[in-house]
Structure 1
Amino acid sequence: MSHFPRRLWSKYVREITDSAAEDIFSYGNIQGLPALREAIAGYLYRVKGMACSMDQIVITSGTSEGILLLASTLSDRFHTVYTEEPTIGFVGDIFQRLNYTIHPVEVDHQGMQIHRIEHNFPAGMIVLTPSHQYPTGSILSIQRRQMAIALAEKAGHYIIEDDYDSEFRHKGGPVPPLQLLAPSKVIYAGTFSKTLSPALRIGFLVVPPELIEPVIRTKTELNLTTSGIMQSALARFILDGHFDRHIHKMRAIYKRKRVYIAEQCRRLFGDRVELLGDEAGMHVQLHFKQDAYGPMDWHNMEGLGVRLSSFEDYAVLKGRSPGKVVLGYGNLTEREIAEGLRRIQQFTESWRRI
């Protein structure tokens, strides 16, 4: 957050509030500011190869609102959702509140195990984070991507692709969006919370043409709008090239932190800990090997001033991920990372099997 371009952003907001038309202070277009939708469409084509019309883009107040909007829109068509296991908590919470049947599908080092969704299972939505899964950090393999598309086309599913941090790829080439394989079956969800700031509360959906009308109708009924001032500032920020430059800068910063974490883990834990899922994003998985450590109660780490999330915190199916924790490093300095890992070592030493 210390790298957020405050002065530049303040300049855009000040100019907009001083000189924009009066309607900038109204509720605005329910689908989102046309200038921002056009800027996002251009960015997606330029950077990710996605050819979509600005008319397919719906501005949201983040990914959680986008998923709520889709769950509400499709609730008369589907009653089932297939979620990654483990995964971030709000996904299941949203669908549960809308009375969907939730089928958790386990994730391994190649992403969601798509083969566990049988062809005769009820049609519904499949929620995937193919570019960098949370909390495992795994990337959906090309074989499973193709399997997911084939399944959606044959069984009538829609896939929600949550692409929340794919801009920060640290190893190999960029991972193309799943949406490119089947634009009529994949609903792409993006957010600026990870690339710029969660305080902006701006995300977006790229919706297949046949779903645009019901999605906008639902958004209107729920009165879900996003600040026109923030949208206008973001549109200018993108069109003037500052967003691309910011991503380039932050990618280098996160990559340096990732390398630093790997070095510190090797120094402190040796081969007793496996670092996984570090190819992209702002989090890594630490797997404390069970032949070296006993079962640990990670919540006790708070006594040392470190708050950790174990995989159990994100799991519906408990007891399947012993010794696995997720470390988010996006808003930490290297000094804070080193001190946090030192305290983790201090804690885990008491559980170590000598």
Structure 2
Amino acid sequence: MFWISIDRSLDTSLIRQVYEQIRIRILHGELQKGERLPSTRELSSSLQISRNVIIEAYEQLVAEGYIVGQQGSGMYVAEGAYLGQQQKEEYLSFFETNNLPEEKNIEMIDFRSGIPALNLFPRKTWGQMAKQVYIETSHSIFGYDHPEGRIELRHVLSRYLKRTRGVHCHPDQLVVTTGATQALYLVAHLLLSPNDEVILEDPITHEIQKIFKSRGSSLYPIPVDEFGMKTSLLPSDKKPSFIFVTPSHQFPIGGILPIQRRIQLIQFARKTNCYIVEDDYDSEFRYQGTPVSSLQGLDPDRVIYIGTFSKILSPALRLGYLILPPSLINRCKDLRWFMDLHTPSPEQITLARFIDDRHLEHHIRKMKKVYKGRRDHLKACLKNNFRDNIRILGDSTGLHLVAEFKNVNFSKQMLAKIEKKQVKVYPVELHTMKKGCHQSKIILGYGNLTKGEIEEGVLRLKDVLATKIL
């Protein structure tokens, strides 16, 4: 019995419904090679649909090789079209159970770091400028572009970074990337070969460690204190490919590298003939004084500078940049082309205009007030609830601080108990290479939380930790 179901209420066309059901039966072996299909008249009559629907469905199956026609005899299942059902079922079940997007838990208060206030993205201004770009600019922006990025953005960025961060570079030294992660990946492929060594801060973002390790390199950790990397511990017997630092706001501890350590770092790099990679990810939001000048400005030929707009504006924009010494530019452009050709041109031009018209600086000034208010509220909540049992670190800059608790070990079991209270915190220990030194510290991001959420989150945290420290 050849049975096909037709549902006229579906968005799927009748042709597609007929085609898909026959195709699946052939793949699963329900219709076997050499088996004759009903004639177009027979099937259209039994389904009470137009014969033209059946003809087009059959023609598609013939075109894809599922069935073959024999003149004067009809349509038959082709040889070699049986795939088997088990693989398909296992494949589908994997996606059904593992890869469906999770709905956001609206009850969960998430202290994740590095997330700006998403509801305060300058939608109206950005939208108006993007509309102008799409309507008014040359049609060439919709074609392929240069891997290093649009010249408009690179010119504007070089001026902006010199004015605000003390970065010295020619626009040709800039490579526009889809965020800081791609910039780090480019650096790893430019500078690292298997068995090379990288010196980096400990702790430092777990993801960065993974990127560098993916090249087969080994990592040499230098511990940090409240002032960043302890440069006095730089090894005299090492010749690394590069040193990785976050000098303007160490992640996660939050220290600002003083000039004496910056000079030590540069002198070490000159002596060992290696590069310094400076990740300047959220230093715009400094709450005492002006942002700290870049390390790159002290030695532009030695320092590779990485920046991103994910923390300033939105992670969804996927816009970052890399500033390289001239000797590395051509190789980097080749690598950038191989990865994904280029960052979308309309977004680059929109960002260039957004910066050039000083909207970015206006947005940063506005957001500094917002984030300072949230930071101060978080600090007050922590102090009020935990009194002298807590020490706060790295709160002068950025979108997170570190809280160190007396007599608390943020083990997996402890973190699970906290999460049961519908609050998520992040252990510093996750980002360490030498384990056991930061077990009492957690990272608390506040950029994307309201004051009410911050207060409630701290109260939930207190419910779990009260028996340990109060």
Alignment TM class, shorter chain as reference: over 0.9
- Stretch deviating more after TM superposition (329-338 or 6-15): 6-15
Compared with structure 1, are the counterparts of its residues 295 and 69 closer, same or farther at alpha carbon in structure 2 (3 Å cutoff)?
Answer: closer
8 Å CA contact 1:299, 1:307 repeated in 2: no
Query: Contact 1:78–1:123 at 8 Å: present in 2 too?
Result: no
Deviations 1:88-133 (A, max 9, x none): 1111111111111111221111111223221220231111110111
Provide the residue aligned with 1:28 in structure 2.
Answer: 145
Deviation at 1:236, TM superposition (A): 0.8
Shift of 1:27: 2.9
Higher alpha-carbon deviation: 23-32 or 268-277 = 23-32
RMSD, aligned CA: 1.6
> What is the CA distance between 1:213 and its match in structure 2?
1.7
1:250 to 367, 376, 380: 367
Contact 1:120 1:155 in 2 (8 A): no
Aligned to 2:250: 133
Using a 3 Å threshold, how does the CA distance of structure 1 residues 317 and 48 change in structure 2: closer, same or farther?
same
1:287-302 mapped onto 2 (5 Å cutoff) = 287-290=404-407, 293=408, 297-302=414-419
Q: CA deviation at 1:240?
A: 1.1
Equivalent in 258, 263, 283 of residue 146 of structure 1: 263
Quick one: structure 1 residues 96 and 224, their matched pair in 2 at CA, closer, same or farther if it must change by over 3 Å? farther
User: What does 1:208-223 align with in structure 2 at a 5 Å threshold?
Assistant: 208-223=325-340
Q: Distance in 2 between matches of 1:104 and 1:26?
A: 44
Residue in 2 that maps onto 1:40: 157
Provide the rounded CA distance (Å) in 1 between the counterparts of 2:306 and 2:397: 18
Contact 2:199/2:240 (8 A) holds in 1: no
> Aligned residue for 2:353?
236
Structure with bigger RCO (C-alpha 8 Å, 6+ apart): 1
1:26 deviates by: 2.0
Q: Using the TM superposition, name which of 98-107 and 214-223 deviates more.
A: 214-223
| Distance across 2 between alignment mates of 1:313 and 1:46 | 36
Q: TM-score, normalised by structure 2?
A: 0.72
Partner of 2:120: 3
Kindly provide the amino acid, as one letter, of the partner of residue 279 in structure 1. S
TM superposition shift of 1:45: 1.5
**Farther off after superposition, 45-54 or 87-96:** 45-54
Q: What's the offset of the Cα at 1:146?
A: 0.9
For residues 281-309 of structure 1, the C-alpha deviation after alignment (integer angstroms, 9 at most, x for no partner) is 0100000023xx46652232110011111
Q: Deviations over 1:113-157 (max 9, x none)?
A: 223221220231111110111111111122211111000001012
Q: Equivalences for 1:65-214 in 2 at 5 Å?
A: 65-76=182-193, 79-214=196-331
Q: Name the residue aligned to 1:347.
A: 464
Q: Distance in 1 between matches of 2:196 and 2:258?
A: 28
**Matched residue type, 1:284:** L
Amino acid at match of 2:132: E
- Alpha-carbon contact 1:27-1:227 (below 8 Å) kept: no
Q: Percent identity?
A: 38
Equivalent position of 2:389 in the other structure: 272
Contact 2:195 2:218 in 1 (8 A): no
User: Distance between the aligned counterparts of 2:206 and 2:341, measured in 1?
Assistant: 22
Output the TM-score relative to the length of structure 1.
0.95
> What letter is aligned with 1:95?
F
2:426 to 309, 313, 316: 309
1:109 maps to a residue whose letter is E
Q: Give distance in 1, aligned partners of 2:341 and 2:263.
A: 34
Measure, in 1, the Cα distance between the counterparts of 2:442 and 2:236: 33
Gaps (5+ residues) in structure 1?
Answer: none
Alpha carbons of 1:15 and 1:339: their partners in 2 closer, same or farther (altered >3 Å)?
same
